[in-house]
Amino acid sequence: MDSEFWHNRWAENRIGFHLSETNPVLPQFWPQLGISRDETVFVPMCGKSLDLTWLAERHHQVIGVELSEIAVRAYFSEHLYIPTVTTLGNGHTLYEFDEVRIYCGDFFTVPVDTVDAVYDRAALIAMPEKMRESYVQHLLSRVKPGGKILLVTLDYPQQEMSGPPFSVPAPDVESLFKGCDVKHLGREDADASHPRMQQGLSRFAEEVWLIQTPA
């Protein structure tokens, strides 16, 4: 997906991927990471997710990256936050309010220092197959040795629906994060009432992974 695709999705408010509440995955699985309040959390392609706020209530520094300025501005305005805005080089703008910092710009060039933990609910599954290896390698370059990633993926027959979001099945996760400690935490299969199943998919599941980088 090129940047214009995502800019158009936000401009046209076609954001079915946005959840209007905190993703249940966070309170269920985040404690398993054992991350302290002082450790920094990174959220790639964060949109205007309420997950940022949930994380900020538990950590002193939560760093998001988002391509769309519409999404970044919406996050702060919908929470009635007035952020400090700093124009950076290389086409990035930094928005800051209390524990939350969001860089508006390209994930691959954003000037983020190394972090202790990552929450990826919407980034990997937004990547077409040809971009996933580059994405994962760049993500891992931002994580400290021994750092942890809570990763959410989708599993469905890709031929039955064009992404994004894309299906990233278990063998692909294990291959992409080869060299890391990859642990499967859970899987939730959708029932017939799920919107994706009503669109004609034969199966649709959300999977959760805990990935730890080598120390």
Over the stretch 151-206, which tens digit does the pLDDT of each residue have?
Answer: 999 999 999 998 889 999 999 999 999 999 999 999 999 998 888 898 889 999 99
Asked whether the predicted pLDDT for residue 16 surpasses 60, the reply is: no
CB contact set of 62 (below 8 Å; sequence gap of 6+):
40, 41, 43, 52, 55, 56, 99, 100, 101
- Longest Cα–Cα distance of the chain, Å, equals 48
Q: Strand (E) positions, 69-204?
A: 84-87, 93-97, 100-104, 115-120, 143-155, 181-189
pLDDT score of 114:
96
Architecture of domain 3-14+22-212: 3-Layer(aba) Sandwich (3.40)
Give the list of residues 6+ apart from residue 33 with CB closer than 8 angstroms, or none.
Answer: 117, 148, 150, 210
Least Cα distance to 63 among 78, 45, 87, 81 occurs for: 45
For residue 57, what are its two tokens?
């209530």
One-letter amino acid of 37: R
Q: What is the pLDDT of residue 2?
A: 65
